[in-house]
Amino acid sequence: MTAAESSSPDRLAELSAQDLRARLSEALDLYVTAMRYPKGTAEQRAPMWLAHMMRTGWRCIGAFDPNGNLAGIAYGYRGSPGQWWHEQVRRGLIERSGPAAADQWTLDYFELTELHVRPDRQGRGTGENLLRALLAGATEGRVLLSTPEGPSRAWRLYRRVGFVDVLRDYQFSGDPRLFGVLGATLPLA
């Protein structure tokens, strides 16, 4: 890759479920690399990503480097009762803040499920561009996401575009890590 290619902006494109299925291996490799997960994680996540594509309001945006390779990906869908993440977050909100807070955040929201940028493409605005493009098409009143606790580029991005704390230091079932659940009113400022 030349210096010009490495500094060129990434091109964004909306991906259909068929488009993402065709690039699923590439997308999951990007996910594993960006999150620094063990390689076997991709095989475990593939069925989940395929199931997510069937959810109401699912949308996906890809970022492509000048060579046409996937440089970033963002997807999400309308959150609703019965979905694992929805039930986990709602339970946590009820326990910590009460039913009114749970209703405020979980009755009409877009779940930002995945947002990842290849490490060699980070720090160029690709993550924010993906986030804004994905959420520009959302019809819900709010957006929610979860991200591991601790300082990161992701936290700086979410704060910069107006996300606030919804639930902090939360432990999802089956994961020993602590997460922050963040939310924002749509459209983003």
| Mean pLDDT of the 23-38 span | 94
Active site residue 158: yes
Q: Using omega within 30 degrees of 0 as the cis cutoff, is the peptide bond preceding 187 cis?
A: yes
Q: What's the confidence (pLDDT) of residue 4?
A: 39
Domain harbouring 34, CATH code = 3.40.630.30
The answer to whether the beta carbons of residues 189 and 143 sit under 8 Å apart is: no
17, amino acid identity? A
Could you read off the pLDDT of 4-14 as tens digits, one per residue? 345 567 999 99
SS (H, E, C) the chain: CCHHHHHCCCEEEECCHHHHHHCHHHHHHHHHHHHCCCCCHHHHHHHHHHHHCCCCCCEEEEEECCCCCEEEEEEEEECCCCCHHHHHHHHHHHHHHCHHHHHHHHCCEEEEEEEEECHHHCCCCHHHHHHHHHHHCCCCCEEEEEEECCCCHHHHHHHHCCCEEEEEEECCCCCCCCEEEEEEECCCC
Q: Domain of residue 50: give its range.
A: 3-185
- Number of structural domains, the chain? 1
Could you read off the pLDDT of 47-106 as tens digits, one per residue? 999 999 999 999 999 999 999 999 999 999 999 999 999 999 999 999 999 999 999 999
Q: Which of 75, 109, 158, 170 is catalytic?
A: 158
Could you read off the pLDDT of 114-155 as tens digits, one per residue? 999 999 999 999 999 999 999 998 999 999 999 999 999 999
By CB neighbour count within 10 A (0-12 exposed, 13-18 middle, 19+ buried), where does 67 fall? exposed
